[in-house]
Amino acid sequence: QKEVEQNSGPLSVPEGAIASLNCTYSDRGSQSFFWYRQYSGKSPELIMSIYSNGDKEDGRFTAQLNKASQYVSLLIRDSQPSDSATYLCAAVSGGYNKLIFGAGTRLAVHP
């Protein structure tokens, strides 16, 4: 069973700080990785995708991928209370037919 693991949290950070969210995956064949944000009671929305080793930046968000360590992370700079949500890490399985989600990390940004 291919897995994606995340710490469930909650991760609590003060407003303006950097939030660091981490994820590990078991399928060495995975090549595509995504971070989704999900507000309580709402559907997931894609915020970042990453396919190559290294960093990818988009505004306040930076995704990091290390395929050798099978590790994906998401950094949120200048965290805002509106960033408080559950963040889901997902990996496309090596067979390219399924997206495997982690259980999510709940982030709480306090003023």
Between 38 and 70, CB nearer to another protein: 38
> With binding defined as CB under 8 A, does residue 91 bind another protein?
no
Of 24-63, binders to another protein (CB under 8 A) are 31-32, 34, 41-46, 49
Write the binding mask 6 to 25 for another protein: x where contact by CB under 8 A, - elsewhere: --x-----------------
Dist. CA 86–CA 52, nearest whole Å:
24
**Apex CA 84: angle with CA 5 and CA 101, to 5°?**
25
Output the six-digit token pair for 69. 């360590």
Residue of 89, 93, 60, 58 lying closest to 72 (CA atoms):
89
Residue 16 Cβ vs another protein, minimum distance, rounded to whole Å: 29
Q: Which stretch binds another protein (CB under 8 A): 15-23, 63-71, 75-83, 101-109?
A: 101-109
Question: What is the SS3 assignment for 50?
Answer: strand
The Cα 23–Cα 44 span in angstroms is 17
Which of 55, 57, 96, 110: binder of another protein (CB under 8 A)? 96
Q: How many CB atoms lie within 10 A of CB 1?
A: 5
Beta bridge partners of 15: none
Among 23, 27, 73, 104, binds another protein (CB under 8 A): 104
What are the residues binding another protein (CB under 8 A)?
A: 1, 8, 31-32, 34, 41-46, 49, 88, 90, 92, 96-104
